[in-house]
Amino acid sequence: MTTTTNRTIFSAENIDVFYGTSQILFDVSIAVSEGQTMALLGRNGAGKSTTLKALAGLAPPKRGKTTVLGTEMQRRKPHVIARAGLGYVPEDRQVFPEHSVEDNLLIAEKKGPNGEDYWTLARIFEMLPMLEPLKGRMAGRLSGGEQQMLTIGRTLMGNPVGLLLDEPSEGLAPVIVQQIGALLRKLRDMGVTVLLAEQNMHFCLGIASHATVIDKGEIVYRDTIEALRANEDVKARYLAL
């Protein structure tokens, strides 16, 4: 049921990003097309999170442009980009710890940019059944895996057309990582467009169709993920395996 078209859902084009005076991203370009799950791979500190933050408007690029559904977004505030349809799931989960699970989800409830309203509380609980019995619990008291599920569900509540996922498997037990993998495959099969930042290529195999590799703030490789898997040279040079 995967429907990949050539229509670009969101992109970065030749962006330079700085934190203060130090340049973190150099001329980074990445485009994710409809229904695609793209892996953004690289070592710790390579610039994956910064790329996602630039797309989400949290680390605005100094040069270059970002787009969502063809509209330029590089000068826009994060809430405008979110309303334009780009959903962001941060790396360190960032649930609202003193809100209940249900309230975390309800805060994020909104329609998509074209009135999409597929994701509702009921559908989120259907897809993430482990959260339903916990809906009254304070999010700060969930396990790491449950919090990760919650942040993904929370962002989906905004009915995004594209999803930025920052290291959803980081620091979680293997059995939980498998559950997250299954969730991401489900989203892919539903046709959700995803940019998945990861250090771990193996986690992305079977989820992502394509891979972009970033190193020291520059894009150094892009191809299908199977081609990357077979490319021992690129893996040895740019990925910590």
Ligand X SMILES: Nc1ncnc2c1ncn2[C@@H]1O[C@H](COP(=O)(O)OP(=O)(O)O)[C@@H](O)[C@H]1O
> Binding residues for another protein, per CB under 8 A?
56-58, 77-79, 82-83, 88, 90, 94, 96-99, 103, 106-108, 110, 154-155, 158
Shortest separation between residue 28's beta carbon and ligand X, angstroms: 11
- Cα distances from 168 to residues 28, 101, 205, in angstroms, run 22, 18, 14
Shortest separation between residue 225's beta carbon and another protein, angstroms: 27
**Residue among 11, 36, 37, 50 that touches ligand X (CB under 6 A):** 50
State whether residue 16 is helix, strand or coil. strand
State whether residue 185 is helix, strand or coil. helix
CB distance 142 to 149 below 8 Å: no
CA distance 53 to 130: 29
Q: Which residue lies nearer to Mg ion by CB, 42 or 181? A: 42
Contact map string, positions 8 to 47, toward ligand X, x by CB under 6 A: -----------x----x-----------------x-xxxx
φ and ψ at 208, to 5 degrees? -90, 150
* Interstrand relation of 210-215 and 37-41 (parallel, antiparallel or unpaired): parallel
Q: Which residue lies nearer to ligand X by CB, 26 or 96? A: 26
Shortest separation between residue 167's beta carbon and Mg ion, angstroms: 6
Residues of the shown chain interacting with ligand X in the complex, contacts defined by CB under 6 A: 19, 24, 42, 44-50
